[in-house]
Chains A and B, each alone.
Chain A
Amino acid sequence: MSGLRAEGLRVALGGKPVLTGLDLDFKRGEVTAIVGPNGAGKSTLLSCLCGLRRPDAGRVTLDDGPLLTFKPRERARRIAYLEQTPEVAWAIDVETLVGLGRTPFVGAMGLGADDRTAVAAALTRTGMTAFAGRLVNSLSGGERARALIARALAGAPDWLLADEPLTGLDLGHQYDALELFRRLANEGCGVILTLHDLASAVRCADRIIVLAAGRVLADAPAADALSPAVLAQAYGVDARVTAGQAGPLIEVLGRSPAASV
């Protein structure tokens, strides 16, 4: 079964528990959004899922094999990770940046023909072909974010794990990015995103996981996960979910007496 699974995941940072025994199952062809308040452990969960962090207890399996037994290169070919606001240390151009996404595939000789084709494809998908020769540090926030997404796509990964990918994007580009994730999932990629904005989550995700204080509060198809009870527990707000034209709308009415667990 080609799935990414977390079994009994437990992580503590600096003595404090961040993830307290999570069991989650992810499928390819789906967009999963992980939402929750600050400090809920969303980024930590994502780090474990892509093999960057070793959990204190439990494990992550990819296609039934423990993730950490995969060779780093092999793992990197299957799972692409997009961290929150990655740095780009040098004044490279967009094409070179996207080319870095081919790192798990290239050898000592650098990019080959296949690699260049993949880079071009990634640029096209993110609408960045016209920017190929521009220096990354000359791009606007939105263009830069799209270039970084293109980098993640250059490897044609089975799984895309992105931590807050909408940071710095304006409404229009947020829409574009979400549409892109949707399309990727339709093509068979397993997309797992952590998102701050619930409306975006509802918009593009097939499944929403609400995480608070290292525990799963809700795990259900899209809007079903965001019931007023869950919102109150997770965020400490009194909210109402109504149907809008493009999808469910969440209105925050005030603070809720029920505190976050």
Chain B
Amino acid sequence: MTRRAVFIMVCLLALLVLLCGLSLMTGRVWAPISAWFDRGDVRWAIVFELRVPRTLLAIAVGAGLGVSGAAMQGYTRNPLADPAALGVSSMAALGAVLTLYLGAGGAQPWIIATAAMAFALLAVILLLALAGMGSGMVSFVLAGVILQTMAGAGVALALSLAPNPWAVSEIVNWLMGSLADRSLDEVRFAAPFIALGVGLILFTGRGLDALTLGERSAASLGIDLRVLRGLLAVGVALTTGASVAVTGVIGFVGLIVPHLLRPLVGARPSALLWPSAVGGAVLVLGADILVRAIHNGSELKLGIAMAALGGPFFFALLISLRRRTA
């Protein structure tokens, strides 16, 4: 890594540590550091039973989504690629919902997560197949949007058919993700899959760099495109599927983070991977802190906050890209 990239990484890590501290303090109840050591204080329970898992989960999910977005953009050579914007997260939610509500006895967390990861894999395969057909940026993004719409509708349909009187609020829960009140069990459950997925994705760096020159040149440089595709697909499916299974759909992380870091660490795809992981963790943790700091009414869902941030961002990105290619 270049000296500049190392510097950026150190800054991001420092920021992450700072946010961790802030995360443990922030919520409806302010818990300063003095409360962390007094077991009798009710705030101790809040910090260690509620906020620690929430912080760890935010870091894991943010890192996974950030690096997935960076890798998908590197592979498709398309800066608009992102697991949530292109329907991978929604498909994972569909898998989870189908298992949870329509599967026989499918309430086991590992069954739900496996279904989420399987559906995420299906989505990635569909998207990569489309990207491989050289269909151009617009068609690719359109395909992703269609996938997302269909999967979202599928979630709503499944929930409305299921004999569940709280179907409507469940739909909202799955499609608008949240980190609220998650436990260490969920962290223990999702983190290994996310870590495995991130690990696989980090192996794609060399191949993604070579793809800068296009698929033919990359193949001529000795890159096995099928292995690359496989690593990417499984890596993204594991991270996205495991994340969605415990938090619901949280979007735009994979879109925003690489885009913000590209001017800082350089546009080479492999250089973006590690920083996007840390950057993603920073973004999700920061957004979650913000959501908890707003004390007006019910707690805002993180997925909504990310959409509010990411929607205009996506739009601005699209406009700047059009101007460049027009």
Contacts and interface: CB of A to CB of B under 8 A. Distances in A.
Q: Are chains A and B touching in the complex at the 8 Å CB cutoff? A: yes
Interface of A: 47, 50-52, 71-77, 79-83, 86-92, 96-97, 100-101, 103-104, 106, 108, 110, 151
A87 to B, nearest CB: 5
A101 B269 contact: no
B212 A52 contact: no
A52 B210 contact: no
Contact of A103 (B203, B223, B262): B223
A53 to B, nearest CB: 10
Contact of A76 (B1, B214, B220): B220
B134 to A, nearest CB: 11
A216 B203 CA distance: 44
A103 B212 contact: no
B268 interface: yes
A155 to B, nearest CB: 8
Given A90-B267, A92-B266, A83 B221 contact: no
B278 interface: no
**Among B203, B205, B214: residue with most chain A CB under 10 A:** B214
Contacts of A108: 203, 205-206
A240 B270 CA distance: 54
In the A-B complex, list the 7 residue pairs whose CB atoms are closest, starting with the nearest: A76-B222, A81-B220, A90-B267, A89-B77, A73-B222, A72-B222, A103-B221
**Among A86, A87, A90: residue with most chain B CB under 10 A:** A90
Contacts of A89: 77, 211-214
Given A86-B217, A89-B77, A92-B268, A100 B212 contact: yes
Contacts of A80: 220
A50 B210 CA distance: 17
Contacts of B268: 90, 92, 96
Contacts of B206: 103, 106, 108
A73 B219 CA distance: 10
Contacts of B209: 100, 103
Contacts of B299: none
B224 to A, nearest CB: 6
Contacts of B212: 88-90, 92, 97, 100
B28 interface: no
Given A72-B222, A87-B213, 6 more contacts: A72-B219, A83-B216, A86-B214, A92-B266, A101-B221, A108-B203
Contacts of A96: 266, 268
B222 A75 contact: yes
A92 B267 contact: yes
Given A86-B214, A86-B217, A103-B210, A77 B222 contact: yes
Contacts of A100: 209-210, 212-213, 221
Interface string B191-231: 00000000000010110011111101101111110000000
13 contacts: A72-B223, A72-B224, A76-B221, A86-B217, A87-B214, A88-B212, A90-B268, A96-B268, A100-B209, A100-B213, A103-B206, A106-B206, A151-B213
A79 B217 CA distance: 12
A52 B58 CA distance: 43
A104 B219 CA distance: 10
A73 B221 CA distance: 7
Contacts of A110: 1, 270
A90 B203 CA distance: 20
A223 B30 CA distance: 86
Nearest to A50: B220
Nearest to B211: A89
A151 B203 CA distance: 23
A76 B269 CA distance: 21
A210 B18 CA distance: 68
B217 A81 contact: yes
Given A89-B212, A90-B267, A83 B217 contact: yes
A76 B221 CA distance: 5
Contacts of A87: 77, 213-214
A76 B270 CA distance: 20
A25 B29 CA distance: 79
Given A92-B268, A100-B209, A83 B214 contact: yes
Given A90-B269, A100-B209, A108-B206, A52 B221 contact: no
Nearest to B79: A90
Contacts of B214: 83, 86-87, 89
Contacts of A77: 222
A77 B221 CA distance: 8
A70 to B, nearest CB: 10
A203 B212 CA distance: 33
Contacts of B262: 91
Interface string B138-170: 000000000000000000000000000000000
A82 B205 CA distance: 22
B77 A104 contact: no
Given A89-B77, A91-B267, A92-B268, A104 B213 contact: no
A60 B303 CA distance: 55
